Amino acid sequence: MPERIQNRLKRVKDRIREAAVACGRDPETVRLVAVSKTVPADRALAAIKAGAADLGENYVQEAREKIEALRGERVSWHFIGHLQSNKARYAVKLFDLIHSVDSLKLAKELNKRAGAIDKAQKILIQVNISGEQTKSGIETERAVDLIRQIASLESLTICGLMTMPPYFNAPDKVRPYFKALKGLRDMIRKEAIPGLQMTELSMGMSGD
């Protein structure tokens, strides 16, 4: 099993490297988050040992148990699912980066909980770039106003944007959504909002 995980991880990293080089991008600027939701701790550990430096979880309770079991391993934990405000106090203790902040209410709760443990919590703002009603995320036209409000919260650091594009069998059809999120990020950068980093875009998935 560990050898199979290592081989799969190598194939994915090789594909990322080839794609980055083909478009003139430094492969080291692309971060692969291996999704470990529903995966037992021993398989997550095998992925870490194979070279996975970032693991993504969707459910706080499952992640709590897994992160505790793997405490001491050199890995960054990402929360990539929908986060309810009542789970914020656990999330700030568990995750290095929370990808799915899409409301001021959630941001304020994360800010309060992070401040209570003297932590600067890194977050991404989830944007519903496709406008699908079934998707979470702030509407594109409201994103800048939300970011301005969240940027004033002392215990949160906005590192960038996240989106979940529609699913297509042909990866080329996803590219306009990726381009739109990058364009939004570039526009937000020009706003020069104090305290923003805006270095991260979380938007690629397994089939892209």
pTM score: 0.94
Which class is domain 81-202? alpha beta
Whether 112 and 91 have beta carbons less than 8 Å apart is answered as no
pLDDT digit of tens for each residue in the chain (208 aa)? 677 889 999 999 999 999 999 999 999 999 999 999 999 999 999 999 999 999 999 999 999 999 999 999 999 999 999 999 999 999 999 999 999 999 999 999 999 999 999 999 999 999 999 988 889 999 999 999 999 999 999 999 999 999 998 888 887 888 999 999 999 999 999 999 998 989 999 997 655 4
Q: What is the pLDDT of residue 167?
A: 82
Phi and psi based region of residue 58 (left: phi greater than 0; alpha: psi -120 to 50; beta: remaining): alpha
User: Any idea what DSSP says for residue 174?
Assistant: G
- Residue 77: burial class (beta carbons within 10 Å; 0-12, 13-18, 19+): buried
Instruction: Determine the Cα–Cα distance for residues 208 and 204; give it in Å rounded to an integer.
Output: 6
Secondary structure letter of residue 72 according to DSSP:
T
3-state helix, strand, coil in the chain (%, to 5): 45, 15, 35
Cα separation, 75 vs 67, in Å, equals 10
Q: Mention every residue, 6+ apart, whose C-beta is less than 8 A from residue 55.
A: 33, 34, 35, 36, 44, 47, 48, 75, 76, 77, 78
Contacts of 107 (CB under 8 A, 6+ apart): 101, 123, 149, 150, 153, 156
